[in-house]
Amino acid sequence: MNTRRLNATTLVLYGFVGLMSLIVLLPVIYMIMAAFKTRTSMFVSPLALPESLSFETFERAWGVGVGGFMVNSLLVTFLSVVVIVIVSGMAAYALSQMRGWVGQAIYLMIVAGFAIPVQAVLVPVFQIMSGAGLLNSRLALVLPYAAYGIPFTVILFYAFFLDFPKELEEAARLDGCSRFQAFVRVILPLSGPAIASAAIFQSVFIWNEFILALLVLTRRGLKTLPVGILDLQGEFTSDWPAVLAGLTLATLPLLILFVLAQKYFVRSLAGLGK
Amino acid sequence: MSDVKISGLRKSYGRFEAIKGVDLTVADGEFVVMVGPSGCGKSTLLRTIAGLEGADEGAIAVGGRDVTHEEPADRGVAMVFQNYALYPHMNVSGNMSFGLRMAGMAKDKIAAAVERAAGILNIGDHLDKQPKALSGGQKQRVAIGRAITRQPEVFLFDEPLSNLDAALRTKMRVELGRLHADLGATMIYVTHDQTEAMTMADRIVVLRDGLVEQVGSPRELYNRPVGRFVAGFLGSPRMNVVPARLTRREGDRITVSIDGLDDMTRPLDVTKGKDLREGDTVFVGIRPEAFGPPEDSGRRFALKIRVVENLGRETLVYGTPQGFVSDESDAEDGDLVIQFARQKDVRPGQTIDIGLSASALYIFDDAGLTRSFPNDH
Amino acid sequence: MPQRPRTARSDGRLTYAAMLSPAIVLLSIFVFVPVALVLYGSLFRFGLTSAEWTFVGLSNYVRAMGDGVFWIALRNNIIIVVGSIVLQVGFGTLLAAVLDRGITVGNTVLRTIIFAPMVISSVAVGLIWLIILDPNVGPLVSLVKAMGLTPPRLGFLGDPSISIWVVLGIASWQYTGFMMVLILAGLQAVPKELYQAAALDGATGLRAFWHITLPAIRNILIVAVLITTVGGFKVFDLIFVTTGGGPANATQVLSTWIYFQAFNLGNTGYADAISVILLAIAVLLGWAQLKSSRRA
Ligand SMILES: Nc1ncnc2c1ncn2[C@@H]1O[C@H](COP(=O)(O)OP(=O)(O)OP(=O)(O)O)[C@@H](O)[C@H]1O
Ligand SMILES: [Mg+2]
């Protein structure tokens, strides 16, 4: 009797989680499925399966430049993450070594930067960018992305570096390293997990970042995926299958990457709770 | 020549002064052990010698060369840490050769130096292992090996054995002694362990609150401590200290009285400390092994036994003396600790007679200075 | 007290300053200077590209107080915040609890699926749902009709009385999995002995959840609520893509209203004033987060 009640509970729990998974999955499945439909069948029978497996819609979407958007996103994301990791790593290490109120004050200042959303400083950021003549350049994305990635990454690295015994750096210095060499040759090689965590975390955010990219990029050739796929809508007025094909092309690679490396994604993003 | 000369050294952390003016000279090839209570500045002093902390004031010279403002690696010192501080991402030979590689030494010379150090320390079989694959004792050997490969003039050790278990500690202690004899290098060694201090040191430095309290050979420090602090610090179990009253003063002889005991007359060191007068409070120090049989000691008192520790070769008895209480000892509540150099068949609750000879007393004034030593010291 | 000059070399100040400077420069240019500029600009009337700045004192703030859309935007932000806490943190907690102890087979697969929308860009999420909810071609309308109900005449996103709730639903579709993973990490840190001890005391199932689980993850729940709150005030992409703030400004939020005022209407000073208000909210929340994590 006990086991039967247990089974009923388990069934309810599976039902609950299963239903949630279904709610998450259906729109994604719909996106992929409807991308194969024709415009007419979208109108006439929205719920029906596609009649044939033609990749013609994908070709049309690809023609808008999804491939180019992807390359742009890759480039911007890669550069930003590299800058974030290097700049934050150095700053966090210096802070973890500095004693006294100066280090504390700088740390607090950087943490304070964490609280400031880009949405609240859109106008001046735009003014600075256009004043510097950086509109429509990759630098106009990489630099602010790096800046907004720094606070969180510094916090993450700082906590990580504090866990190192300080004798490690001291041993290196006795072995002839300068402070900077000790950082590069001893501390950095041991920071793989923190670097990976920070890189994944920032990659997800920068890959998907929209508002800054919307502001500073108007040239098609530079657009990143989020602003680029918005163009799909304008390009294919009411050609929904093509839009969905474009969305599929834009989202599937990251989704697949996520599924393959979900353990690391989850670990990195769950780190936000700390 | 690789002596170490420290003069007028001061070091503060913010407003807190950790080293308050230390002068110390360590001779070439000498093995000096630094001891002192936790937080007295031993590590700070060692790290300042190494150059890991900058000195606020004073100077440090190694082999006659002023290194006060040199980088750590340029001082000719190597340091071994309590937690080993091996580089986790390098294997054993990588750890040992890192300093030489940083110095740009030729590959074959590095290999030779690593091999030599590995030979000395018996870790030749582990050169390819990662640090996490080593036992604690092996890790400490690698850490020492890392210091040896650089052929420093001075070795600095900060509690290098305290993470090891007792048996291994004894073994490594002997090995370090042998190493010192082989290399003939100058060594400065910080420890909490009395046995290490007493057995390894040519000289012991007792630090207290950022100042040198006393420097001397182990026997000197044990037999002729300058004050209550050093007397209480060296020796285990520690010295029993009992408050007493100075009842008579005749030139350089004083008579002290402890409640329940006959008066005892002792010589007084009049060259230091304040002038003692009749009626002053003094403190009488008795080492646990200095009590004697009641028959031939002169003074005697009854002791109610509370705890007996039978250590095989010797017996420690903790008990309450009749008539007086102690001010300081390894026992609680004003009890005394008495050490018998043999097995003794006594039980808690029992009362036994203990003898005490006046010639075994240390007498401290209320400032803590030793004013009278036992006869045979 | 006579002091010898310390060498900068052994002190390391120069090295550390050099290591810190890139971060400080970047943060200054893109975070701190802009904050100063919004504070300053909010006191002026000026266009995005015009060189003519007119000092207007606090009148941009006064204008906000009298601007109906500003209040709608603020109300919508609050709806999203509160709704997200209920939906995302609420369901996230339930899902996490079930995945942690309720079921044992297929956890990783289910977790991966539910978490997946987190890695899709909000723009793509918005576009997918825009099509799903489309009144003409959207499958949902057909589905509702097939069930014999009448869908809203103007579509789910076109009906001003429900559109903000629909946006809330889409946001929750994207982020509930994130909350679940966050809370799951907290749950997995709860020692299992605690549940065994509770079971001996007679607390199992729901009672164990209430008396053991929830108190044990209190801190992580606070963090989850704060993240959701901050996210709710920052929401932009989803609304920009799905409704553009419409219909009839029914789904404006502070960030979209700032954007439209500054970049479509050229009321840059006014946009700065709203930015300052958003900034104040964000800083207040950031401070709360800092305090709560200190205690944690
Ligand atoms: N980085 C630091 N900042 C501030 N105070 C410090 C720092 N390092 C040490 N101190 C203080 O300086 C004093 C001496 O510390 P030190 O580490 O030298 O003690 P120690 O004698 O080695 O003690 P132990 O036997 O416990 O190792 C202590 O009071 C300690 O709190
Ligand atoms: Mg120490």
Q: How confident is the model at residue B243 (pLDDT cuts 50, 70, 90)?
A: very high
pLDDT beyond 80 at C81: yes
Closest residue of chain C to A84, computed from CA coordinates? C23
* Per-residue pLDDT at A111: 85
Query: Please, what is the average pLDDT of chain A?
Result: 87
Which H helix or E strand runs over A262? helix A262-270
Region for residue B16 given its phi and psi (left: phi exceeds 0; alpha: psi -120 to 50; beta: otherwise): beta
The confidence band for C8, taking pLDDT boundaries of 50, 70 and 90, is very low
Which of A7, A10, A17, A184 should be substituted to probe chain C, the one whose Cβ sees the most C Cβ atoms within 10 Å?
Answer: A17
The ipTM, to two decimals, is 0.88
pLDDT band for A177, please (50, 70, 90 cuts).
very high
Q: Answer whether B72 touches A (CB < 8 Å).
A: yes
pTM over 0.90: no
Cα B47 from Cα B11, distance rounded (Å)? 11
Tell which one of B15, B19, B44 to mutate to probe ligand 1, the residue whose CB is within 8 A of the most ligand atoms.
B44
Domains of chain A, residue spans:
59-271
Map chain B to HEC letters.
CCCEEEEEEEEEECCEEEEEEEEEEECCCCEEEEECCCCCCHHHHHHHHHCCCCCCEEEEEECCEECCCCCHHHCCEEEECCCCCCCCCCCHHHHHHHHHHHCCCCHHHHHHHHHHHHHHHCCHHHCCCCHHHCCHHHHHHHHHHHHHHCCCCEEEEECCCCCCCHHHHHHHHHHHHHHHHHHCCEEEEECCCHHHHHHHCCEEEEEECCEEEEEECHHHHHHCCCEHHHHHHCCCCCCEEEEEEEEEEECCEEEEECCCCCCEEEECCCCCCCCCCCCCEEEEEECHHHCECCCCCCEEEEEEEEEEEECCCCEEEEEEECCCCCCECCCCCCCEEEEECCCCCCCCCCEEEEEECHHHCEEECCCCEEEECCCCC
Token representation of residue A54: 């033609």
The mean per-residue pLDDT over the stretch C120-135 comes to 91
CA distance B23 to chain C (A): 17
Distance from CA of C160 to the nearest CA of A (A): 22
Q: What is the mean pLDDT of residues C6-26?
A: 79
In a domain, C69, yes or no: yes
* CATH no. for A59-271: 1.10.3720.10
In chain B, the domains with their CATH numbers are 4-232 (3.40.50.300), 239-372 (2.40.50.140)
Q: What is the pLDDT of residues B135-157, one digit of tens each?
A: 988 999 999 999 999 889 999 99
| Chain B contact probe: residue of C1, C3, C4 with most B CBs at under 10 A | C4
Q: In angstroms, rounded to a whole number, what is the distance separating the alpha carbons of residues C202 and C214?
A: 17
| Per-range mean pLDDT, top range of B264-278, C69-83, C103-117 | C69-83
Compute the average pLDDT of residues C166-181. 94
* Tens digit of each residue's pLDDT (9 = 90 or more) over A135-173: 889 999 999 999 999 998 998 899 899 888 889 999 999
Half-sphere exposure (CA, 13 Å, Cβ side) for A151?
20
Q: Residue B43: CB within 6 Å of ligand 1?
A: yes
Contacts of A39 (CB under 8 A, 6+ apart): A238, A239, A240, A241
Q: What mean pLDDT value characterizes chain C?
A: 87
Could you tell me which of C20, B339, C36, B139 has the C-alpha nearest to residue A124?
C36
Instruction: Give the pLDDT score at A1.
Output: 41
Per the domain annotation, does C272 fall within a domain?
yes
Tell which residue, A179, C10, A172, C11, has the closest CA to residue B81: A172
Percent of chain B with pLDDT over 90: 67
| Ligand 1 atom showing the smallest separation from residue B16 Cα | 5
Question: Measured between CB atoms, which of B72, B85, B146 is closest to A167?
Answer: B85
Does the beta carbon of B39 lie inside 6 Å of ligand 1?
Answer: yes
Q: What is the mean pLDDT of residues B224-249?
A: 92
What are φ and ψ of residue B185, in 5° steps?
Answer: -85, 160
Across A103-112, B86-95, B118-127, the highest mean pLDDT is recorded for B86-95
Query: Is C90 inside a domain boundary?
Result: yes
Q: Out of A16-30, B4-18, C179-193, pick the least confident.
A: C179-193
Kindly tell me if the per-residue pLDDT of C11 is higher than 80.
Answer: no
User: Which tens digits make up the pLDDT trace of A197-229?
Assistant: 899 889 989 999 999 999 998 888 899 999 988
A5: pLDDT strictly greater than 60: no
Distance separating alpha carbons of residues C282 and C233, to the nearest angstrom:
8
Nearest-by-CA chain A residue for C263: A123
Residue B297 has pLDDT above 80, yes or no: no
User: How many domains, chain C?
Assistant: 1
Is the per-residue pLDDT at C49 higher than 80? no
Distance from CA of B43 to the nearest CA of A (A): 12
Average pLDDT on C27-31 reads 94
Task: Please say if the pLDDT value at position A99 is more than 80.
Answer: no
pLDDT surpassing 70 at residue A69: yes
Q: Which residue of C has its CA nearest to A21?
A: C114
Residue C53 in any domain: the answer is no
Residue from B86, B278, B98 nearest B163 by CA:
B86
* Residue C7 covered by a domain: no
Nearest alpha carbon to residue B323 among B339, B343, B300, B296 = B300
Distance from residue B18's CA to the centre of ligand 1 (Å): 7
Interchain CB contact of C44 with A (< 8 Å): no
Tell me how far the alpha carbon of residue B335 is from its chain's centroid.
Answer: 25
**Residue for token digits 């400077």?**
C21
Q: What is the CB-side half-sphere exposure of residue C43 using CA atoms within 13 A?
A: 6
- 8 Å CB contact of C124 and A247: yes
The CATH number of the domain holding residue C184 is 1.10.3720.10
Q: Do A170 and B79 touch (CB under 8 A)?
A: yes
Whole-angstrom Cα Rg for chain A: 24
CB contact under 8 A, C3 and B56: yes
Write phi, then psi, for C163 (nearest 5 degrees): -60, -40
Contacts of B48 (CB under 8 A, 6+ apart): B9, B11, B19, B54, B55, B60
Give me the pLDDT at residue B256, please: 92
Beta-carbon contacts of residue B113 (< 8 Å; ≥ 6 apart): B97, B100, B105, B149, B151
Answer whether residue C171 is part of any domain: yes
Q: Which of A168-177, B157-166, B287-296, C44-53 has the lowest mean pLDDT?
A: C44-53
DSSP state of C44: E
Helices A240-260, A2-34: axis angle to 10 degrees equals 130
pLDDT band at B240 (very low <50, low <70, confident <90, very high): very high
- Residue owning the nearest CA to atom 25 of ligand 1: B38
Mutate to test the pocket of ligand 1, among B19, B22, B40, B156 (most ligand atoms within 8 A of CB): B40
* Per-residue CA distances from A108 to A158, A201, C17 (Å): 12, 22, 16
Residues of chain A with C-beta less than 8 angstroms from the C-beta of B89? 186, 189-190
Residue nearest to atom 22 of ligand 1 (CA): B43
- Cβ-Cβ pairs closer than 8 A, B with C, add up to 21
Which pLDDT tens digit goes with each residue over B10-54? 999 888 999 999 999 999 999 999 999 999 999 999 999 999 988
The pLDDT tens digits for C195-248 are: 788 778 777 777 877 888 888 888 888 888 988 998 999 999 999 999 988 788
User: Could you tell me the residue range of the domain that residue C280 belongs to?
Assistant: 60-295
Identify the pLDDT of residue C7.
Answer: 44
- Are B186 and B153 in contact by the 8 Å Cβ rule? The answer is yes
Query: What is the mean pLDDT of the segment spanning C46-61?
Result: 84
